[in-house]
Amino acid sequence: MTLRIDLKSAILALSDALDLVGVSDFQHGKRVAMIARETGLMLGLPEKRLDRLVCASLLHDLGVSSTAVHRRLLREADWDDRQAHCETGYRLLQPFAHLSLVANAIRYHHTPWRQLPAELSEVDGLDSNLIFLGDRVDAMLIQRGLENPLFNRDGIVEAIVAL
């Protein structure tokens, strides 16, 4: 008997489970995925690339081990240990053929564009930075309250430009 798994459904279910780590910031991964996807759409990325970007975005905090770590990541953009969860997520995805395709984007999702390794593919580099952008925008929205993010953008554009 062959076991078949719908990868998109499995990723969405895993994203739901990851939300339990950041209990007070429910659906962070989904918001990051939406922000990254919409930005990629504005850049003219094709639908297949956008699907890959959404999958990577949904899993970007796979390596986060506790709610305390999750809170620090959202509140401290320059936290010295922020890369540890990126490396953990990267290692966790390596054994899985399809999921390993997004592992590099997750590994470098806290790495500024100018600091990405030269050997990283352009696709992984752009995806990692689109996740980084979505992550920072969502973190800033969370810090300001999510009642109405459309009217709560004071300082966010300036902070993103500074990154």
CATH code: domain 24-162 is 1.10.3210
Q: pLDDT grade, residue 26 (50/70/90)?
A: confident
* pTM of the predicted protein model: 0.83
DSSP letter, residue 140? H
Q: How far is Cα 109 from Cα 133, in angstroms, rounded to an integer?
A: 9
- Token representation of residue 162: 């500074």
Helix 7-19 with 28-42: angle, nearest 10 deg? 130
- The pLDDT value recorded for residue 119 is 94
Structure confidence by residue, pLDDT tens digits, 58-109: 999 888 866 666 666 666 666 666 788 889 999 999 999 899 999 999 999 9
Domain boundaries, the chain: 24-162
pLDDT in the model for residue 76? 62
Side-chain-side CA neighbours of 26 within 13 Å: the count stands at 2
Handedness of CA 46, 51, 53, 54 (dihedral sign): positive
Mind giving me the DSSP string for 39-50?
HHHHTT--HHHH
Per-residue tokens: 59: 């899993």
Average pLDDT over residues 110-114: 88
**Mean pLDDT (whole number) for 21-38:** 81
Q: Helix, strand or coil for residue 155? A: coil
